[in-house]
Amino acid sequence: IRNTRFGFKSRGLGDVYKRQGKHAITTSARLLGRPSQRVRVSLRLQHAATGSRARTQQFARALAAIATFTAHPSEHARLTLRLRYDRELKSSAKAGRQSLGTYLSAAFDLRRGNGLRLRYDFRLTVDGASAASPQSLPSPENWLALEYLWRSN
């Protein structure tokens, strides 16, 4: 689907590939938007199934929803915010694992070929099998990364 007046486009993808004797099927749909020259928004839904073709009842399935916001406040700076929700789908009554992740990244071009990027990641995972237990708490992860890119010309 394309709407060139507002800059939105959507496309569905389906991939089947074989990895270490297991088959994997991934289907996703993505919606892109460019509200202005310096801003880009992306929404994506994804379903994945992996397993052996001989055991069709044992395919592991997962859903993911991803939202990305990218802005270029100046010619030499880029800000990116991404939110991701993952959920394992179980055929039994037990709930699967769920996770919520986000990152904020700021990238700067310092001078010809050099760049600096600061990235903060946060991820929260809840194991569905033990979520009913009062002793089980979500496991948060915090990461901070600083990268310097240098290229010799």
pLDDT by residue for the chain (153 residues), tens only, comes to 333 333 334 344 444 444 455 667 888 899 999 999 999 999 999 988 877 666 556 677 889 999 999 999 998 999 999 999 998 887 655 667 888 899 999 999 888 778 999 999 998 887 655 445 544 556 788 999 999 988 776
How many helices (H) and strands (E) in the chain?
0, 9
Query: From the CB of residue 41, how many other CB atoms can be counted at a distance below 10 Å?
Result: 16
CA distance 107 to 118: 6
31 three-class SS: strand
56 three-class SS: helix
**Which class for 11: exposed (0-12), middle (13-18), buried (19 or more C-beta within 10 A)?**
exposed
* Tokens 């237990």 -> residue: 133
Determine the pLDDT at residue 153. 64
Determine the pLDDT at residue 108. 93
One-letter amino acid of 99: S
Is the pTM higher than 0.75? no
Paired strand residues for 88: 62
